[in-house]
Chain A
């Protein structure tokens, strides 16, 4: 076990500055209105830095910088851009611990996750898009003997990106890496709950990018996010968040006739067929871990397996074993490498989770374990901690239908295959899902029948860059990860060329 010193404390691997301005045109720029807001750590609830409170003027300035850089950046060779992305990845790797501790302190998540998942995945993501942009090919189509269609990919230009707070650096990377690889310039607005760790990242990589290619404007949604999303000077807007803001962003985009990609969450079913329990072997152990994945990142994952569907014939014994596994989750100081579950990201997030404990109980759901706020004592008493919680109930209950975004799983049973698929699909959302079975046929059919963009089969919460991620139904539009993501950041240019010397014959 090791416990990292808090940022800025003696022996810490990273320090935050007392204040962060906007990063515009390759330099730090004070906010036009001169205002800042405090950024608390969820670990203790106390503020540790202050952040520029951006407004429309700052967004305009960032757009000026981005447009100033767009032509030159868009004309760099794929090899040049790939090199930049690879260098970013190298710098991140050299500073992995610092980034991991910074992210932990800002978001409240356990440092073992940032060390082993968030930051390594972000590093790999930059390398992946460095690879695919070099391998991307246009097309040549011979329409007839003398007419040829050439298809080129061209960057969109300047794009806007609004980042969520649950994986501040990884989610920024998911949007940045493909956008930069494709030759776009970016104006990025981090979430107001986690506005600072991206600046730690910038402290390591800013010199690698030409000024204006990446601009970061901090601030609140209504003051900085809205001017960005509604700007007539962006060619695309990408957003991760919830449905109402997603719709609002689509409305703004419709005014400017620009594309959107939206990732709006889910209520992901984790389906356990009875054959999972045919033997108490390592696979059974893996399935129990799969159930417990609802607690990863304190449940603050759009694909949190927040509904567990267990076949009736194994329901009681499997749930009992899964509950024991859940009780082994070690909560504690997020900076301790033994800690498995840290703090919720903000006070309002904590309050929302508690409000769902309330309505869950009122609706008659049974609390199997947890169901309360957790007080971890000492300095951590001011932080936002919740017990890992298992509810038993019915799929029609609100706790089965709304994304609680906490370490809460709602469990119900199913009788047969059709019942499983029906319940799994009885939701507004379709982002993630999982199927657990030793029978390849059952797993395949269920994986195809569940209406979700990502169905894990016999695993959960793996996010390799080369696997497409995105939602069916109300979970959004478009995909992230995978080389297909480049399409969301590129225009198609068709050059239709006649090599004939003769008139077409109309006039």
Chain B
């Protein structure tokens, strides 16, 4: 049971970015402008620490892409399931996909009772 997922379009984009750049990671942003957007970086580019929560791995062709969020933000998000999607657009921030004219986007739904029991115990 997973807290995060990705759409086929997001998986395709991850394949492309991985081919061009190398192993990847996500960190979910908060705040203004491009806040609430998942930021995609080269693995290790963004230093996660004790204040971050590992939400899980997005697995594309057997290779994991770890996804993180700050622990404080997670407290307000933990009841929701997150799906990484992609839309046309032009995000700012340093996310790798922006020059391609597309932007990763989070789609959310409430965790089911069963998921909540398993994931938030």
Chain A residues proximal to chain B, CB less than 8 Å: 37, 53, 164-166, 191-193, 220-223, 225-226, 240-248, 251, 263-266, 302, 346-349, 351-352, 355-356, 358-359, 362-363, 396, 398, 401-405, 428-429, 474-475
Binds A, one of B8-16, B53-61, B92-100: B92-100
Q: B81-92 CB contact bits vs A (8 Å, 1 = yes)?
A: 000000111111
Contact between A223 and B99 (Cβ–Cβ < 8 Å)?
A: yes
- With A244-B93, A349-B89 in contact, is A402–B36 under 8 Å at CB? yes
CB neighbours of B121 from chain A (8 A): none
Q: How far is the CB of B35 from chain A (nearest CB, A)?
A: 4
Other 13 A-B pairs with CB < 8 A, given A244-B93, A302-B32, A355-B107: A53-B99, A193-B90, A226-B94, A241-B34, A242-B31, A242-B33, A245-B29, A248-B45, A265-B32, A351-B105, A355-B105, A355-B106, A402-B30
- Select one of A240, A348, A429 contacting B105, CB under 8 A: A348
B33 and A222 within 8 A (CB): no
| Residue numbers in B under 8 Å from A225 (CB-CB) | 92, 94
Chain B residues within 8 Å of A248, by CB = 39, 41, 45-46, 94
Q: Give how many A-B residue pairs fall within 8 Å (CB-CB).
A: 160
Across the A-B interface, the 6 shortest Cβ-Cβ residue pairs = A348-B89, A265-B32, A265-B31, A244-B29, A242-B35, A348-B103
Verify B30–A220 contact, CB threshold 8 A: no
Interface centre among A225, A266, A351, A362 (most CB of B within 10 A): A351
Q: In whole angstroms, how far apart are the Cα atoms of A85 and B34 in the complex?
A: 31
Verify A405–B72 contact, CB threshold 8 A: no
A401 nearest in chain B by CB position = B76
**Docked complex Cα distance between A454 and B117 (Å):** 40
Chain B residues with a Cβ closer than 8 Å to the other chain, count: 41
CA distance A402 to B75 in the complex (A): 12
10 A-B pairs with CB atoms under 8 Å apart are A164-B33, A221-B93, A243-B31, A244-B30, A346-B91, A348-B91, A355-B108, A359-B80, A396-B76, A402-B30
User: B31, A241: Cβ atoms under 8 Å?
Assistant: yes
| B92 → chain A closest CB, angstroms | 5
Quote the shortest CB–CB distance from A52 to chain B (angstroms): 13
**CB neighbours of B76 from chain A (8 A):** 396, 398, 401-402, 428
B45: chain A residues within 8 A (beta carbon): 248
B22: min CB distance to chain A, Å: 13
| Cross-chain contact A241 with B33 (CB below 8 angstroms) | yes
> Bound complex: CA of A244 vs CA of B39, how far in Å?
7
Q: Using Cβ atoms and an 8 Å threshold, which residues of chain A touch B32?
A: 164, 166, 240-242, 263-266, 302, 403, 405
